[in-house]
Amino acid sequence: MSLPATAMGALAAILIMALVTYLTRAGGVFVMSRVPIGPRVERFINAMAGSVLVAVITPMAVQGDWGARLALVATLGVMLTTQKALAAIAAGIVTAALWRLWL
């Protein structure tokens, strides 16, 4: 499938991606509403969240520039010291932005 490189093509791509995202999330809720949540399933869900996070972060740490690496370090440091996710995310964003601004 090919979309034209016009404003309508971009809008169509955005709408298609939004629909796929919605169906994925709604499908997950639908499937999990039929699965009994026992200790084993709960452990799986908790472990899966960490696995997805590592799968997203690892390529940035390996293939990213120093701005990305420093942002990861800043995020980790703030998260370990404050236990506040929003502050850690903000620290990572600010670190990457400052690194790219200065270099």
Burial label for 43, CB within 10 Å (0-12, 13-18, 19+), is exposed
The tens-digit pLDDT sequence of the chain (103 residues) is 677 788 888 899 899 999 999 999 999 899 989 989 899 988 988 888 788 888 888 998 899 899 999 999 999 999 999 999 899 999 999 999 999 999 8
Cβ neighbours, 10 Å, residue 11:
11
Cα 67 to chain center, whole Å? 18
pLDDT of residue 19: 96
pLDDT of residue 1: 65
Residue recorded with tokens 């899966």: 48
pTM of structure: 0.58
Residue type, 16: I
Residue recorded with tokens 């200790």: 39
